[in-house]
Structure 1
Amino acid sequence: MTTILVTGGTGTLGRHVVALLRADGHEVRVLSRHAEPYAVDLREGGTGLDTALAGVDTVVHCASSPRGGDERAARNLIDAARRAGAAHLVYISIVGVDRVPLGYYRSKLAVERLVEESGLGWTVLRTTQFHDLVLTLLEAVAKLPVMLVPAGVSDQPVEVTEVAARLAELAVGAPAGRVADMGGPEVRTFPELARAYLRASGRRRPVVGVPLAGKAYRGMRAGGHLTPERAVGKGTFEEFLERRFSGA
C-alpha cells in the first residue's frame, strides 16, 4: 500500500481524509503543528519536515490558514517533497479563487500555481465552502439581536466528509492536474441559510440583508464562488444542521 502524508491531518477536513485512507489500508502520516511524531510548522520547515516526508509516495496538502503564511508553507512543503522523491502532491483549494478578490483566495490561487510549477505530479481539487464554515459564520452573526447577512449573496455549502472521500480517491490515483470542481447540492441565499440555522437551533432573530462594499463582495454577488453546474454533493445544509443540533 501507499505511504501518504496528510498535512493539516487533525483539522476539519484532514482528519476525515486520514481516517478514510487508513481504513483503506494505507500507511498515513499526520503532519500538523502539534501532532507527534510529525509536529511541524510548515511555515518554518526544518529537519522535521524532511523526516516526515522520508519514504512518502503521496502528499495530501490540507493545511491552510486565513491568517497568512500559506505560500511560504507550500514552498517549504514542495521543496521537501522534491528532496524526498514524492511522486504526487494533492492540493485542496476553493471554488472562485480566480474570480473573487479576497486576500485568502489570492493566497490559495498562488499556492495552486506553486503546485502546478513544482515539477511533481500534482492534482488540485476546488470545492465550495464546507457546511461547518457556514455554521461558524452564522453562529457569529447570531450573537447580535439581529442577524445581519450579506445582501444578494448566495452560497453552495458542501459536506466535508464527501470532500474527504473525493480527496482520498484522488490521493490513491495517478496525478490528474486540475480536476472538476466539487460543489454542494444546493445554491442557497444567506437569508435562507440563516433561517435554516435559526430553526435548527431553536433561536429567534430577525434576518436582515446588508449591502457591503468592495470588489470581493461584488464577486460574490456575481456568484464567482459558486459552481451550480457541479452540484455533485449530496448532503444538504439542513441535514448537516439536524446532525449537529441533535448530537448525532
Structure 2
Amino acid sequence: MTTQILVTGGTGRLGRVLVPRLAADGHAVRVLSRKPSPQTCHGDLLTGEGLDAAVAGVEVIVHCATGNGRSDVDGTRNLVQAAARAGRPHLLYVSIVGVDRVALPYYRAKLACERLVERSGLPWTIQRTTQFHELVAWMCAVQRWLPVVVMPRGVSFQTVDTGEVAARLAMLADAPPSGRVPDLGGPEVRPAADLARAYLRSRGGRRPVVSLPMPGLRGYREGGHLTPEHADGRITFDQFLAA
C-alpha cells in the first residue's frame, strides 16, 4: 500500500540513500528543502515557513535533518508543531547512540530533540545509530595535507553502513509507531587509529597515524557512543572502503 512520506534531510548523506529506497518500496515521497525545486517541497525547519503545506496529507515523517545542535532543537520543535496541526502523522526520528551518555553539545541537542518527539503527543519512533563509516573517512580525508593523520587516543568507533541504516528506517516507516526501538550499530568496534590505518591502506597512503589525547571526549573514551550488544550491521569499514 502506498504511504505518503515526508523526509527531512532528504538531500543529506542518509537521505540520499533513504529516499530512493522508500520510493522503490512504492511510497509517495516528499523531500523537504529550503530551496524549492521540481524534486523537493519547500519548507524551512528553522523558521517554520512552508511546513504546514509540506506535512499536509502525509502519514509518516522521517526526520533525518541535522544541523549544528541548537538549530536541531528549534527545527524539531517547529516540525512537531506543524505535524500536530496536520493530523498526527507517525514521526520517525533518527538519533545517535549515546546521546544520554556523551556530554557533547551536539549529543545534548539530539537528546533534547528526542524529548520533544516523545512529548509531542504524536505517534512516534526513535532509532539511534552509531556513526556512519563516512565520518571516519572524512576525519582522515580532511587531514590529507598533513604529514601524519591524528586520531583521538583511547577512542574506538563502531561505524555502520548508511545503506543499512536506510534499510532499517524504511522498515520502521512501514511499521506501526514503536517508541524507542533497539539501537543499530556497526558490526565491529575498532580503535580510531586502526580505522585510520585501514583508510590509508585503501588509498595507498603511507603516512603514520598518531594517537593524541583530546579534551572533551571522556564519554567517547568510556564507550558511551558504542552499542556492542546491537552490532546488527553487516558491512564492515574495510568493505565500505573497498566499495
Provide the TM-score with structure 2 as the length reference: 0.96
Q: Which residue of 2 aligns with 1:4?
A: 5
The amino acid across from 1:102 in the alignment is L
Within 2, Cα distance between the matches of 1:226 and 1:73?
27
The amino acid across from 1:62 in the alignment is C
The amino acid across from 1:161 in the alignment is G
Q: Which residue of 1 aligns with 2:54?
A: 52
Q: CA RMSD in A?
A: 1.1
Q: Which residue of 2 aligns with 1:171?
A: 173
Aligned ranges 1:216-231 → 2 under 5 Å: 217-231=217-231
Q: Which residue of 1 aligns with 2:239?
A: 239
Equivalent of 2:148, from 146, 169, 194?
A: 146
Percent identity over the alignment is 60
1:129-154 superposed Cα distances (whole Å, 9 cap, x missing partner): 00111111111234310111100100
After TM superposition, give the deviation of residue 35 of structure 1 in Å.
4.8
> What secondary structure, in the 3-state scheme, does the structure 2 residue paired with 1:100 have?
coil
Counting matched residue pairs gives 240
1:64-112 superposed Cα distances (whole Å, 9 cap, x missing partner): 0136401110011001001111330000000011101111000000000
8 Å contact kept, 1:56–1:86: no
> What residue ranges of structure 2 are gaps of 5+ in the alignment?
none
8 Å contact kept, 1:142–1:205: no
Deviates more, 1:158-167 or 1:138-147: 138-147
After TM superposition, give the deviation of residue 12 of structure 1 in Å.
0.6
> What residue ranges of structure 1 are gaps of 5+ in the alignment?
244-248
Q: Which residue of 2 aligns with 1:112?
A: 114
> What secondary structure, in the 3-state scheme, does the structure 2 residue paired with 1:129 have?
coil
The amino acid across from 2:47 in the alignment is E
Within 2, Cα distance between the matches of 1:85 and 1:79?
11
Within 2, Cα distance between the matches of 1:132 and 1:107?
22
Q: Which residue of 2 aligns with 1:246?
A: none
Aligned ranges 1:64-79 → 2 under 5 Å: 64-66=66-68, 68-79=70-81
Q: Which residue of 2 aligns with 1:188?
A: 190
Q: Which residue of 2 aligns with 1:34?
A: 35
